[in-house]
Amino acid sequence: MATNAIDQTRRMLSLVTYLRERPGAHVQDVARAFGITEDELISDLDVLPMCGTSFRGGDLLDIDTDGDRIWWHNPDDVAEPLRLAADEATALLVAARAVATLPGLRESDRLALVRATAKLETAAGESGAASSRLSVTFEAEGGVFADVDRAISERRRLWLRYYSPARDELTEREVDPIRLFAVGHTYMEGWCRLSEARRTFRLDRVAEIRLLDAPAAPPELELRDLSAGLVQPAVEDPEVVIEVGTGGRWVAEYYPHDSAEELPDGGLRITLRTPDPASLRRLALRLGGDGRIVTPPELADSARTAAREALAAYEDAV
């Protein structure tokens, strides 16, 4: 079953209390108690050590595992009463009020957040007064995130107008959402009814979104392991060779590749694999004089044609 972000946060908060009362708990037992897989539990444990009682990095949760048992080394330290500095209280209050206005937030979660905010305001006193003069406006991605999160929670289908950079066009499609995740950007994984296949959608490329009354019914799919990144080329994917100059060496840092050979002029000859070679045409246009596609020849020809058309359109405009 897919887990939305709010439910995962609830689980991790409960996990802290559970582990504090059970030092040396077995991974298998904890996963069973929370109704999740051991891999999901390990993923939570990777996040918890980055949490603590101070925004400044002090008093973080010192939790680790050897794959069989879980150890929490400083439970007494972080159990001390939390005292917020004025800037910390202000940041929390501003963030809480902003999140409470997100469209698509479940009413029960909104009310719980409002109650928590009121308690924090009382506790902060004058220290938190400055927060009432500050506000945060979320970009469109925040609203999209809330709608997707709600759709996952309520198991409802979504309608999207989505921008595809590979085809440089907007498409309309219905999607049964499966999960939200972040790898550099925030993404939704779902079953696309247009292509009848699993697809990944970047939230900042969603131009419009609506929750539908139709129930979401994605097929039973094994969730992809994203520990190695979002793009994981397969050995059977087509091979593409790109040569870049010194100004294009960044391509080797951002694109998974099989090899990157040094060229005499300080550039690189990069060999990579992709299930959609046409998507690299935009990369070639972006590189301009700092790069070119070598193979396959049809992709190289396509990139040159696109460059000529773009130049002609620019000359006509001026």
Residue 136 CA to residue 139 CA, distance in Å, equals 10
Lookup result for tokens 């006193």: 125
Kindly give the confidence (pLDDT) of every residue in the chain, 318 residues in length, as a single tens digit, with 9 standing for 90 and above. Answer: 445 555 677 777 788 878 888 888 899 988 888 888 888 888 888 877 777 655 444 567 778 888 889 888 776 655 555 566 666 667 777 777 766 655 445 667 767 777 777 777 777 666 666 555 555 544 445 678 888 989 998 999 999 999 876 556 788 999 999 988 776 677 889 999 998 988 888 888 888 999 999 999 999 888 776 665 555 556 667 888 999 888 888 788 767 778 889 999 888 999 988 777 777 777 787 788 888 889 888 888 888 887 787 777 666 655
Residue 183 CA to residue 210 CA, distance in Å, equals 24
- State the pLDDT at residue 214: 95
Longest CA–CA span in the chain (Å) reads: 72
Phi, psi torsion values for 218, nearest 5 degrees: -70, 150
Residue 180 CA to residue 186 CA, distance in Å, equals 7
- State the pLDDT at residue 55: 45
- End-to-end CA, the chain: 55
Residue 233 near residue 273 (C-beta atoms within 8 A): yes
State the helix-helix crossing angle for 86-100 and 107-124, rounded to 10 degrees.
160
Residue 278 CA to residue 282 CA, distance in Å, equals 8
pTM: 0.41
- Amino acid (one-letter) located at 280: L
Residue 265 CA to residue 69 CA, distance in Å, equals 53
- State the pLDDT at residue 1: 43
Lookup result for tokens 């109704």: 35
